[in-house]
Structure 1
Amino acid sequence: MQTNDAMDARASGDAEASTLPAVDPLDDFHAREITFDGISKRVFVSGHGPAVIVLPEMPGIAPEVARFARWVRAAGFTVYLPSLFGRDGVTASAAEAVEVFRKTCVSMEFRALAGRGERPITRWLRALARQALAECAGPGVGAVGMCFTGNFALSMVLEPAVIAPVLAQPSLPLEAPSEIDLLPDEAAQVRARLERDALAVLAYRFEGDVHCPAARFSAYRRALGERFDGRTLPDSAANPAPPPFFREVVRVPHSVLTAHLVDAEGEPTRAARDEVLRFLQHRLHGDRPFSPESIL
């Protein structure tokens, strides 16, 4: 049930928009240049404890993405935040964000318009997970993917280091909203890994999200069985004043953990964030129970 404060914030229409600056300097992170297989990316690293790789959504490491990474850090983790596209720490205009999206879709690293299957960037991310585990120790690594990168967190499960995948509104494949961004043999390998190591996939979407529709979660359930725990939030829970790209281009409730999150007591999106943090703590710290029975 929502508190009066939460309902007042929702009614104001601009409560969330006023809480974050348009530019985040990211100066509480250590920027590192990391190269695997000829691909170099800047990775912002901060914190202590087991590693969690937070994958930014379109159009890049916006202030809302950095805020989520800091929440993960505060929960007891070393955060690895790779810069995959866009300008770091900036709230992009709608026009700039669309251009970032177009360039990324046709890039050789992402191959977003080439159908389903292996992408060079997922191999790079698996290598990052291996390095993060070596640097931070712990039982394994967590991976949180969002929107364009949502399914990348699932593909990373093929790397043994990754033991806690979270998918927030996975939006690929773009041309097939009722399918998942894995070839059948890859999906079978992921499912076998999940079952062999008793892992679970935690996922979120908004009810009316046309970019990650209910049919996509159904496809995940068919592919992964009971190891997939997909949760749907009502559209009414979304922040009504998201950044320009989400307001003018996305146009529907979409980003559960970032742009459409309402950071107020009693809000479903804040509860989803807390579930993600507990899930990561349960898998990577092992001493903090995760209450929902559906997580295996």
Structure 2
Amino acid sequence: MNAVADTAFLAAGFRARESSRPDALFHDPLAARLAGETGRAMVEKVAHLGEAAGWSTVLRTVLIDRFIEEAVAQGTQTLINLGAGLDTRPYRMAVPPSLAWVEVDQAPVIAHKSEVLANETPRCRLERVPLDLLDTASRRQLLSRVSKGPSPGMVLAEGLLPYLTENDVVGLLDDLRDHEAFQGLIVDYFAPEVMRARNAMPGRMRVTAAAMKFAPDDWQGFFAAHGWKVKEMRDLAAEGDRRGRPYVIPEAMRAMLQQGKDIPQRQPPGMFAAYALMERA
């Protein structure tokens, strides 16, 4: 698999580690099986980063769970998870059996997931689709089909957009906007300076090797230009503080700060990382 697909195993490893804690913020009983030895080894490889390794994965899981719970309570009938990775929400969340849940990811990820979870029963109507989201024709065909299902629909793009180019994101946003059934969109937000600093870090200080590309200076303006506006933003740092999980700068990164390197402090003015619930503009 490529570096982006490999992050699915790392994320599953982080969710498994969190689930084993006595003070776990969520429980994902299937994460360890999905992560396997690959995910465990990847988590071990970044252990030198301490609590910072996996911090955002844990907090984003909590925030997205809440977004989905609220959306379902408000009547969402279909959820399509783009770049679903090894997420297990259809198995662990209290969602209605009638909810249509569509997972989309690269074929090797889907194959691994289907094999490992073959004997598990999801809590809703689950479909998995192996598809390269950068294959425009196939993506449009899928979105058109899903949009004809029960509505309103919600789109989840967890840990996806940061790895795409701005042109790739434009294409995806425009395709989603073309279907009235998709009323909501959950996406990552990272401040541009955080993205630049992250990409400039030496490899051993990064949690993942894949380069992050999507960092428009006017993030909200970018989305608005393509038919989406912010309905709600939830800050990872604020959630971490509230839950007793503040972000802790790794010692190696702290040394760079002391040398005057361009690495962001714990929380620059404003949000440095968040999850956003978007609605149609």
TM-score w.r.t. length of structure 1: 0.35
> Which has the larger share of helix?
2
TM-score w.r.t. the length of structure 2 is: 0.36
